[in-house]
């Protein structure tokens, strides 16, 4: 009797464990936590990338086609293959598993310049917002000397930031 009870308990544990594992392996019914805009070579995709359980999922067909790949679906497998002149894929081994793609280390000077440009861009956005807000206020108070002075200061700041950005881009 003890063997039967132990077998029943072991079977129940295995069955519940397998169901729990199967439930965690699918994304069906899970909540989307965030959506992100996807750009490929500077072109914005119509479909967003989504985040589920902290992982990002992107529209493979749209990305693949925009990047110049031949995208095909066979069963539950999505294939991205290089296009050849005739339109067929040039991949010879369909079962090959790709390893990690090596990432080139960026030039430190380029990284610093890019960071400076990003900071300048943020300041430009702020200056534009200030110009728009002050212009809006001036419409309701067109005789305000203080607002006119602020507007001129924001415009001068904007022009200065554009010059700074141009200098950084020339480096």
Backbone phi, then psi, for 33, in 5-degree steps? -90, -30
Backbone phi, then psi, for 69, in 5-degree steps? -95, 155
Residue 131, pLDDT > 80, answer yes
**In this structure, what token pair is assigned to residue 46?**
């119509």
Spatial CB neighbours of 66, under 8 Å, sequence gap ≥ 6:
40, 41, 43, 45
- Summarize pLDDT for 24-41 with one digit per residue, the tens: 567 677 888 888 887 776
Q: What is the 3-state secondary structure (H, E, C) of the chain?
A: CHHHHHHHHHHHHHHHHHHHHHHHCCCCCCCCCEEECCEECCEECCCCEEEECCEEECCHHHHHHHCCEEEEEECCEEEEEEECCCCCECCCCCCCCCCCCCCCCCCHHHHHHHHHHHHHHHHHHHHHHHHHHHHHHHHHCCCCHHHHHHHHHHHHHHHHHHHHHHHHHHC
- Whole-number pLDDT of residue 159: 94
Residue 135, pLDDT > 50, answer yes
Residue 101, pLDDT > 70, answer no
Range with the poorest average pLDDT among 78-82, 86-90, 123-127, 159-163: 86-90
pTM: 0.38
- Whole-number pLDDT of residue 91: 47
Q: Which domains does the chain have, with CATH numbers?
A: 34-82 (no CATH), 108-170 (1.10.287)
* Whether 127 contacts 157, CB under 8 Å: yes
The mean pLDDT of 80-104, rounded to a whole number, is 56
């Amino acid at each position: 009797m003890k063997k039967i009870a132990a077998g029943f308990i072991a079977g129940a544990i295995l069955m519940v464990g397998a169901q729990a594992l199967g439930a965690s392996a699918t994304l069906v019914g899970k909540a989307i936590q965030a959506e992100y805009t996807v750009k490929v070579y500077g072109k914005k995709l119509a479909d967003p990338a989504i985040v589920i359980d902290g992982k990002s999922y992107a529209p493979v067909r749209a990305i693949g086609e925009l990047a110049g790949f031949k995208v095909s679906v066979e069963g539950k497998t999505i294939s991205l293959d290089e296009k050849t002149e005739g339109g067929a894929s040039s991949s010879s081994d369909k079962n090959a598993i790709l390893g990690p793609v090596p990432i080139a280390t960026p030039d430190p000077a380029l990284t610093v310049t890019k960071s400076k440009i990003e900071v300048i861009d943020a300041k430009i956005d702020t200056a534009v917002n200030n110009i728009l807000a002050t212009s809006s206020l001036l419409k309701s108070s067109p005789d305000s000397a203080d607002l006119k002075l602020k507007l001129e200061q924001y415009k001068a700041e904007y022009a200065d930031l554009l010059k700074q950005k141009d200098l950084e881009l020339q480096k």
